Structure 1
Amino acid sequence: MSLFLGTHQNRLDVKGRVSVPAIFRAALRKEHIKENNSLIFRPSHKMSCIEGWPLSVFSELTNSLSTLDLFSEEHDDIATTLYAEAWPLDLDREGRILLPDILKEHANLTDAVTFMGLGAIFQIWEPTAATERCKTARQKVQQKNLSITPQTHKKRIET
């Protein structure tokens, strides 16, 4: 799977268009988007940013809804959160997307935006908020002494 890496700043034009960073477009071409240029954009339900999802990754996430009763309150709440404000957007020939007003308002975007790679997805932030988010995340990781161990480096215990 291709990864979205790095932090990149771009300008939001007066029409609400922004260029997706070239490194992100390359990752999309490599793995996720073959014939079309669709991405799913949605407001984060945790932070004041926009999440960008390749359709294949978004589909994997939403497949887990099938484990819930279709008519349950939990299903309805999660489906509403995932789908009601989700926008499928296509990249134009210049690699730009046109962000709907509801998404720009959610992330407080005006003239500059920051794209942050998060591996399988990416986020779009107001630049000052993005800087603060990175700082806060780094502090939390240090305070909680968080780390991960790659699967290939785990020792097998045989009994």
Structure 2
Amino acid sequence: MTMFLGTHASRIDAKGRMSIPSPFRAVLKDQARPGEPLMIIRPSHLHDCLEGWSASAFFTFSGALDEYDPFSEDHDDLATSLYADAYPLDCDREGRVSLPRNLKDHAGLEDDVSFMGLGCVFQIWNPALVEERRKQARSRTRDLGRRKQSTPREATAS
């Protein structure tokens, strides 16, 4: 399976377009299905950044809503959070996309942007915030590792 890996810099040009890094475009094209947009971009629900998904991964992920009563408030809240600000996008011939203003505002994107691969999804960040996020993630991961090491293992039955 191909994944979104690495951190890549890009810029928003004078016409409001930004280039999707070529390794990310390759993953998106690899996962593209006929008749679907190349990607879905939506605001992150955890951070001040955007999430980018291949359309097929997004539609598979959103299938989790099927577990909820479609007439319940939980379903309505989750569907609103997931779909209301999600935008299907395709790249032009040069690999550029134009983001809606509300997405740019959510992530504080102006001129420079940073793309961060997270495996099955990628994030688009204001470069002033992305390094702090990476530091925070590394620190929390170290803490998690320390907690796991200090937790006594349960004896296993032979």
TM-score under structure 1 normalisation?
Answer: 0.88
Q: Is the 8 A contact 1:16 1:100 kept in 2?
A: no
Q: Following superposition of structure 1 onto structure 2, how do residues 110-121 of structure 1 map, counting pairs within 5 Å?
A: 110-121=110-121
Q: Partners in 2 of 1:74 and 1:37 — Cα distance?
A: 28
The list of structure 1 runs, each at least 4 consecutive aligned residues, that deviate by more than 6 angstroms after superposition, is none
Q: Which amino acid aligns with 2:72?
A: S
For residues 35 and 65 of structure 1, do their structure 2 counterparts lie closer, same or farther at Cα, with a shift above 3 Å needed?
Answer: closer
What is aligned with 1:108? 108
What is aligned with 1:91? 91
Q: Secondary structure of 1:145's partner?
A: helix
Q: Secondary structure of 1:133's partner?
A: helix
What is aligned with 2:22? 22
Aligned length: 151
Unaligned runs of 5+ in 2: 147-155
What is aligned with 1:122? 122
Q: Partners in 2 of 1:29 and 1:54 — Cα distance?
A: 8
Q: Which amino acid aligns with 1:101?
A: R
Matching of residue 67 in structure 1 with residue 43 in structure 2:
no
The Cα shift of 1:44 comes to: 0.5
Give the share of equivalent positions with the same residue, in percent: 50
Aligned-residue Cα RMSD (Å) equals 2.2
Q: Partners in 2 of 1:28 and 1:53 — Cα distance?
A: 8
- Spell out, residue by residue over 1:119-156, the C-alpha distance to the aligned partner (whole angstroms, 9 max, x if none): 0110000001011100000000001217xxxxxxxxxx
What is aligned with 1:51? 51
Q: Which amino acid aligns with 2:115?
A: F
Q: Secondary structure of 1:8's partner?
A: strand
The Cα shift of 1:65 comes to: 0.5
Q: Secondary structure of 1:47's partner?
A: coil
Matching of residue 8 in structure 1 with residue 8 in structure 2:
yes
What is aligned with 2:149? none
- Spell out, residue by residue over 1:26-67, the C-alpha distance to the aligned partner (whole angstroms, 9 max, x if none): 122223356765210000011100000101100111111111
What is aligned with 1:82? 82
Q: Partners in 2 of 1:110 and 1:145 — Cα distance?
A: 36
